[in-house]
């Protein structure tokens, strides 16, 4: 028997768990079960998501930055609906696509500096691959510098510049010539730039997955100047920070940085269609791919397809017309201050940081062995690695607020709602965080509470 679309739309939570565990990833299901995190969501609009029992949740995770416009944005559906009615060619690579050409034009108008020429991809990691390849082809140099704690994706090239050993180690050897420098450290960057011919320095304006780490003020601008001094290209990865998230359309604009290459993805597809864009200056693009002989060196079957580019055009237009970065700046600083005040009253909170609507709450590392006493070892491993996730589990199950931990730093819970979020929704989340954290003032209390939730979910079975 093969499942039909109608059956999928009706499928219940235990059937999804069973199938996912059997055919996709059993470990992932076990982890979610441990934290009672696997709801069956049936509908989503804007910041709100409904489960199969009709409960409403606030999505303050926002698909790791892919939902700047919220769930199911009407503007983006309208663009796709127009395409459904007109039936344009979606994939016909022998011809230049109108939608790809227009989206590239629009991106060139709104991105900083002289960024102009676009290569379209289907994900963030693929966008980073395009940027890395372009930097080598354009400069003829081999070395690529990246930062400790960075996250640029998990395919081979992007993984080679992702600063977390846990993700890199099982896949060694990775791409040669990739070297790590400390994030925010200009002296270390300059000494590496001096030491050898470096093709590119790839950097996030704020490290999202690294635990929402904000570099010292002026770092990005000074890094740009150093790169130019040594003939190295600056690749700014705005895959998570871009499209309004941090209070400007692109985070590097806070310091007036003009990258040689920029990576954009996530919210460019309006949360409905996968798309990424690697945009470079004309000079860099020409050096890499100029001329008949080189113009087909880097290609993609689905890159630049009409549906994805129409979604991109509509999503960009909606973000720009509604000036969503302004809401991100205003409600972001309101939420940051609210969380800082809560954190100051809760010893389990080490730091609250962020910019715009990209905010991280860092917890103190749990004391090893502590949870063993509470749970007879049951969730010791989870607590050791996933304290951010445990708090997120509490918010989900007790307060119907969706958040998550950051990939490179599981002690950090991230808050990254759609940029359409309202002050009232922010207030509800602040109250929920306050209740989860301040009622259990110490990590000890938090651990007991989350352990109880986890135990309950385990004994629920299925």
Ligand X SMILES: Cc1ncc(COP(=O)(O)O)c(C=O)c1O
Catalytic residues: 151, 237, 266
Point out which span in 83-91, 176-184, 201-209, 438-446 binds ligand X (CB under 6 A): 201-209
Query: Is the Cβ of residue 245 or residue 440 nearer to ligand X in the bound state?
Result: 245
* Interaction of residue 68 with ligand X, rule CB under 6 A: no
DSSP state of 207: B
Among 29, 67, 76, 128, binds ligand X (CB under 6 A): 128
Contact criterion met (CB below 8 Å) for 198 and 192: yes
* Interaction of residue 151 with ligand X, rule CB under 6 A: yes
Binding mask 345-374 for ligand X (x = CB under 6 A): ------------------------------
Point out which span in 5-13, 53-61, 146-154, 252-260 binds ligand X (CB under 6 A): 146-154
Contact criterion met (CB below 8 Å) for 242 and 112: no
Report d(CA 258, CA 417) in Å as an integer.
27
* Interaction of residue 190 with ligand X, rule CB under 6 A: no
Binding mask 308-347 for ligand X (x = CB under 6 A): ----------------------------------------
Among 111, 121, 123, 281, binds ligand X (CB under 6 A): 123
Contact criterion met (CB below 8 Å) for 436 and 11: no
* Interaction of residue 160 with ligand X, rule CB under 6 A: no
Among 232, 265, 406, 450, binds ligand X (CB under 6 A): 265
Contact criterion met (CB below 8 Å) for 245 and 251: yes
* Interaction of residue 129 with ligand X, rule CB under 6 A: no
Nearest to 340 by CA among 327, 329, 328, 349: 349
Among 209, 253, 260, 394, binds ligand X (CB under 6 A): 209
* Interaction of residue 146 with ligand X, rule CB under 6 A: no
Cis peptide before 173 (omega within 30 of 0): yes
Query: Is the Cβ of residue 275 or residue 288 nearer to ligand X in the bound state?
Result: 275
Contact criterion met (CB below 8 Å) for 346 and 437: yes
Q: Residues with Cβ < 8 Å from 315, sequence gap 6 or more? A: 68, 69, 73, 75, 76, 243, 267, 268, 269, 270, 271
* Interaction of residue 153 with ligand X, rule CB under 6 A: yes
**CB environment 128-161: b (16+ within 10 A), e (fewer):** bbbbbbbbbbbbebebbbbbbbbbbbbeebbbbb
Report d(CA 383, CA 369) in Å as an integer.
10
Among 46, 62, 70, 124, binds ligand X (CB under 6 A): 124
**Which residues of this protein are in contact with ligand X, per CB under 6 A?**
64, 123-125, 128, 151-153, 204, 208-209, 237, 239-240, 265
């Amino acid at each position: 028997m093969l499942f039909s679309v109608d059956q999928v739309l009706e499928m219940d939570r235990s059937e999804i768990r069973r199938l996912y565990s059997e055919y996709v990833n059993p470990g992932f299901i076990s982890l979610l079960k441990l934290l009672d995190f696997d709801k069956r969501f049936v509908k989503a609009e804007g910041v709100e998501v409904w489960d199969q029992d009709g409960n409403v949740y606030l999505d303050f995770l926002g698909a790791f930055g892919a939902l700047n416009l919220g769930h199911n944005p009407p503007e983006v559906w309208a663009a796709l609906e127009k395409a459904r009615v007109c039936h344009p060619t979606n994939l016909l690579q022998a011809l230049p696509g109108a939608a790809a050409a227009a989206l590239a034009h629009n991106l060139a108008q709104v991105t900083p500096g002289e960024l102009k020429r676009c290569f379209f991809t289907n994900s963030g990691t693929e966008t980073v691959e395009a940027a890395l390849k372009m930097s080598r082809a354009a400069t003829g140099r081999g070395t690529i510098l990246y930062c400790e704690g960075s996250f640029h994706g998990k395919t081979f090239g992007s993984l080679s510049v992702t600063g977390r050993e846990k993700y890199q180690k099982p896949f060694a050897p990775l791409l040669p010539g990739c070297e790590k420098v400390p994030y925010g450290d200009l002296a270390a960057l300059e000494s590496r730039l001096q030491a050898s011919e470096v093709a590119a320095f790839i950097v996030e304006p704020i490290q999202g997955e690294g635990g929402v780490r904000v570099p010292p003020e002026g770092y990005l601008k000074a890094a740009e100047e150093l790169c130019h001094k040594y003939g190295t290209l600056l690749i700014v990865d705005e895959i998570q920070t871009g499209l309004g998230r941090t209070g400007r359309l692109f985070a590097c604009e806070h310091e007036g940085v003009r990258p040689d290459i920029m990576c954009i993805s996530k919210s460019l597809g309006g949360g409905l269609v996968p798309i990424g864009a690697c945009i470079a200056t004309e000079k860099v693009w020409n050096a890499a791919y100029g001329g008949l002989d080189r113009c087909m060196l880097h290609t993609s079957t689905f890159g630049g397809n009409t549906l994805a580019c129409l979604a991109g055009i509509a999503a960009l237009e909606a973000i720009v017309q509604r000036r969503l970065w302004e809401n991100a700046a205003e409600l972001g600083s309101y939420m940051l201050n609210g969380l800082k005040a809560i954190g100051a009253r809760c010893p389990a909170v080490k730091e609250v940081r962020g910019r715009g609507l990209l905010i991280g709450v860092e917890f103190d590392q749990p004391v090893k062995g502590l949870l063993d006493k509470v749970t007879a070892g049951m969730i010791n491993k989870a607590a050791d690695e996933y304290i951010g996730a445990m708090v997120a589990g509490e918010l989900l199950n007790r307060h119907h607020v969706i958040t998550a931990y950051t990939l490179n730093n599981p002690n950090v819970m991230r808050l990254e709602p759609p940029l359409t979020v309202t002050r009232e929704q922010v207030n509800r989340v602040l109250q929920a965080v306050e209740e989860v954290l301040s009622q259990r003032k110490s990590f000890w209390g938090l651990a007991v509470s989350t352990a109880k939730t986890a135990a309950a979910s385990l004994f629920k079975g299925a």
